[in-house]
Structure 1
Amino acid sequence: MDDMDDLRAWLIALRTPGLGPCGLRERLDAGEGDIGRVVARLQNRAAALDEPARAWLAQPDEERLATDLAWLAEPGHRLLRCTEADFPPQLENIPQPPAALFVSGDASRLLYSQVAIVGARSASAGGLAHARAFAHALAQAGFAITSGMADGIDGAAHAAALDAGAATLAVIGTGPDRVYPRKHHALARRIAAHGVLVSEFPPGTPARADHFPRRNRIIAGLSLGTLVIEAGLRSGSLITARLAAEQGREVFALPGSIHNPLARGCHRLIRDGARLVESAVEIIETLAPAARMLGHELAARLQAETGGEATGRPVAKSGPRSGSRGGASDSGDHSSSDEDPAYRRLLTELGHEPATLDELVQRTGYSAAALGSMLLMLELEARIESLPGNRYQRLPDDG
């Protein structure tokens, strides 16, 4: 099956009414990942399906499929399938993991170490200021900022990450060709150009109330931790926080005035066990072990997949830049990276003069995604520091 036939089969399956991501994944497992075989079996056994599914499989809407394929043919657009090596592994263990994602932008950014920042759409001026400050600090510390591109806290966090020259990811509740709310058209273009827009809904899908809780499980699933800034007691941000906790991820909440209705959701989260935070440093220190573990896993994965030599295929990344030096490191023991050939090579190629990420890609042959993860880990170990202009410099060895 060529790539166009493969894409067409995926689109038919994704648009089959009532199938859903879990049903599709189960059939992919049974069909050994062959989407053509899955669609053929669905069509052959359509009698067991509901009438809408039978009608669709018997005669798919060719105009709709052509529209989907035209969107995917545009530069920077992609259908990222769960059968592909660079599908984000952090989504595999969440409830109802997506079978595929429509991506606009650099799909490798889905593999970065991420912090979700969510909160009220009708946020106060103070809440928006907090969102911008936390997003900027976390971005400078090497984390990508993930949110839902909603009005209020989400939009402020995305914009602050972009202004910091860092990556940001927007998981949206519409098709990838729709912008909701409409006022965020310019923001969506910036995110697609310098980050990534993600949706599990096919092109043309409008905003619907039930889409946003589904979107929230992906926001929580992609992120090492979720920070809630201003949320009422009925806020959708509490759904994201609950999903993050259920997925075993860290949940952080910013406290507020007892007279502010938008602080009540955060206070409830804190009573229920979320971490009360007052600064980004607290989040960075809490998530540093997870980021270091991710760095080890990615280095091992890099070596396993390349036999000790790197390829240009994206593996994973923890962030395009780092700003906080030793605060996140819990010891001066460098044995973890010293014993790893990939890290030794990176430090050798870095030398003792500042180098940009692009220069390190050329010197090592490693992908930018893999290098970003390794650089963050080295910074958490106080082996290197980041400089303006996406440059990195080796620090003197204390030993």
Structure 2
Amino acid sequence: MSSLSDWLTLASAPQLGGFRISRLLERTTPSELCTMSDRERGQIGLSERQCQHLAFPPQQRIDRCLAWHQQPNQQIIPLDSSLYPALLREIPSPPPLLFVRGETRWLHEPQLAIVGSRAASIDGLEAAGEFAAAMVAANYVVSSGLALGIDGQAHYSALKNGGATVAVLGSGLDRIYPAKHRDLADTIADQGALVSEFWPDESPRPQHFPRRNRVISGLSVGVLVVEAEEKSGSLITARYALEQGRDVFAIPGSIYNPMSRGCHALIKNGAKLVETPVDIFEDVGVLTECAKSSQSVHCVPQPQNDKLPFPALLANVGNEATPVDVVAERSRLPVHEVMMQLLELELQGMVAAVPGGYVRTRRG
């Protein structure tokens, strides 16, 4: 088992995302990578810049993280740890590190995710609260993204009803976002867990939130979308859930309510229409048992990645940093769609985020 310092060294390497790291770990370990020669690293596909990073890592930043790990109620969990959640380990691009405040045991209990609009209606908030209460009564942990609206209501209701809740952040755990939910985050850390794949001092950024959404779905046995517009981050969570072999559930609403259109679109495309929590519980039995196990590889169907994804968008990312708005203009796609596709390409190791935009990797 590699040291945490070696994991931090590897995870901080430039232009080396979760997908590339997962592939590297099929051949070697973080400790071996940190002790290899530059020639050996180059032979397994690392760039000169990545080799230099592994030879001369940002030790001060790594030491700050190690000090963070030593604080009460805080842990860094690497991918090879027995504390790493079994279901999350099986997604196509699992985070190499999880930063956790709170009890890690909740990450090993069956979780059901509730996501939805930040500008939720009264009916939507009521539904999120009722479903969260029923989930904790059925011994599920409620997971969500700590956002305003549906997310916050799901967390509040789980806590109010004596259950546990897990909040996955799009920022480091020392940079709680939104600031309005700092008190809620502290309570969750006491009665559940805060989770992030981002280093503790990282600020929230737009590109972080789709990454957060894939972790929410990856931790869960199913995802409930309460309210969502047609173009919504909740739909990104639902899409990742489907790709990860999770069940997706949606609550229908009025055809005149724009907050219902996203849910209706999901239902048209195969999500299960739900009216009561029982509609969810009867469908998630198999993954619920897998979540309790340390082995889930035979439970979760893996997506096939034989074809090059998003070729039209990939053709508009070059070897020099290309800003997101330029990619959107060239590919004639909305920015939110471009961000989602770039994230998927990054997770598959085909592009890399760099200062100023994205670059195409050798794999791409």
Indicate the TM-score class for this superposition, using the shorter chain for normalisation.
0.7 to 0.9
Q: Would the alpha carbon gap of residues 80 and 43 (structure 1) be closer, same or farther in structure 2, given more than 3 Å must change? A: farther
Aligned residue pairs, count: 293
Once the two structures are superposed, the pairs formed by residues 335-374 of structure 1 within 5 Å of their partners are none
Structure-2 change in CA distance of 1:152 and 1:284 (3 Å)? same
Task: From the superposition, tell whether residues 49 and 30 of structure 1 become closer, same or farther in structure 2 (CA, over 3 Å).
Answer: closer
SS at match of 1:162: helix
Structure 2 CA distance for aligned equivalents of residues 49 and 288 of structure 1: 42
Instruction: Tell me: CA distance 1:293–1:46, structure 2 relative to 1, closer, same or farther (3 Å).
Output: closer
Within 2, Cα distance between the matches of 1:30 and 1:65?
24
Contact 1:138 1:280 in 2 (8 A): yes
Is 1:16 the counterpart of 2:36? The answer is: no
> 1:40-59 counterparts in 2 under 5 A?
40-41=35-36, 45=40, 49-50=46-47, 52-59=49-56
CA distance in 2, matches of 1:280, 1:213: 26
Higher helix share: 1
1:239 counterpart residue number? 236
Which of the numbers 17, 20, 37 marks the counterpart of 2:32?
A: 37
Equivalent position amino acid for 1:116 in 2: A
Deviation at residue 289 of structure 1 after TM alignment = 4.8
Cα contact 2:77–2:84 (8 A) shared by 1: yes
Distance 1:76 1:282, change over 3 A: same
Shift of 1:293: 6.2
Correspondence for 2:249 among 228, 247, 252: 252
Distance 1:112 1:85 in 2: 14
Q: Which amino acid aligns with 2:221?
A: L
What does residue 156 of structure 2 align with?
Answer: 159
Shift in Å, 1:155: 0.8
Q: Which amino acid aligns with 1:40?
A: T
Superposed, 1:79-90 pairs within 5 Å as: 79-90=76-87
- The yes-or-no answer on 1:179 pairing with 2:176 is yes
- Per-residue CA shift, 1:360-388, capped at 9, x if unaligned? xxxxxxxxxxxxxxxxxxxxxxxxxxxxx
Q: What SS class does the counterpart of residue 283 from structure 2 fall into?
A: helix
User: For residues 91 and 138 of structure 2, what CA distance do their matches in structure 1 show?
Assistant: 26
Question: Which residue is 1:375 aligned to?
Answer: none
Query: Aligned AA for 1:283?
Result: I
Please name the residue that 1:148 is paired with: 145
**One-letter identity of the residue aligned with 1:91:** L
The question of whether the paired residues in 2 share the 8 Å contact of 1:27 and 1:38 is answered with: no
- 1:28 is matched with 25
Does residue 115 in structure 1 map to residue 112 in structure 2? yes
CA distance in 2, matches of 1:62, 1:275: 49
Quote the offset at 1:198 in angstroms. Answer: 0.8
The residue aligned with 2:301 is none
- Mark the CA change 1:74 to 1:60 in structure 2 (over 3 Å): closer, same or farther: same
Q: Per the alignment, in what secondary structure is the counterpart of residue 211 of structure 2? A: helix
**1:129 to partner: Cα distance:** 1.3
Give the residue type in structure 2 aligned to 1:166: G
| Secondary structure, counterpart of 2:76 in structure 1 | strand
* Cα distance change on mapping 1:43 and 1:20 into 2, 3 Å: farther
Identity of aligned residues (%): 45
Q: Which position in structure 2 is the counterpart of 1:124?
A: 121
Q: Does 1:218 align with 2:231?
A: no
Task: Give the structure 1 partner of residue 331 of structure 2.
Answer: none
Q: Which has the higher contact order (CA 8 A, sep 6+)?
A: 2
Matches within 5 A, 1:67-82: 67-82=64-79
The residue matched to 1:103 in structure 2 has which SS? strand
Q: Structure 2 length normalisation: TM-score?
A: 0.75
**Gapped runs of 5+ residues in structure 1?**
302-399
Q: CA deviation at 1:170?
A: 0.9
Deviation of the 1:49 alpha carbon: 4.1
CA contact under 8 A between 1:28 and 1:38: conserved in structure 2? no
Instruction: Find out whether 1:285 has 2:294 as its counterpart.
Output: no
Distance across 1 between alignment mates of 2:5 and 2:241: 33
Deviation at 1:193, TM superposition (A): 0.9
The Cα of 1:286 is off from its aligned counterpart by 2.3
Whole-angstrom CA distance in 2 between matches of 1:269 and 1:42: 50
Deviation at 1:205, TM superposition (A): 1.2
Name the residue aligned to 1:272. 269
RMSD: 2.1
Q: CA deviation at 1:21?
A: 1.9
The aligned counterpart of 2:334 is none
Higher CA-based Rg: 1
- Residue type of the alignment partner of 1:100: L
CA–CA separation in structure 2 for the residues paired with 1:106 and 1:137: 22
Alpha-carbon spacing, 1:94–1:292, altered in 2? closer, same or farther (3 Å) = closer
What is the CA deviation profile of residues 204-223 of structure 1, one whole-angstrom value per residue up to 9, with x for unaligned ones?
11111111111111111111
Q: For the residues of structure 2 that align with 1:290 and 1:207, how far apart are their CA atoms?
A: 31
The CA deviation string for residues 124-178 of structure 1, in whole angstroms up to 9 with x for no partner, is 1221111111101111111100111111111110111111111111111111221
Is contact 1:42–1:57 with CA below 8 Å preserved after alignment? no
CA deviation string 1:267-303 (max 9, x = no partner): 00011111111111211222245435666x57xx8xx
SS of the residue 1:213 aligns to: helix
Q: Greater shift after overlay, 54-63 or 264-273?
A: 54-63
Cα deviation code 1:83-122 (max 9, x no counterpart)? 1123111123212112221111111211111100000111
Deviation per CA, 1:317-363: give whole Å up to 9, x if none.
Answer: xxxxxxxxxxxxxxxxxxxxxxxxxxxxxxxxxxxxxxxxxxxxxxx
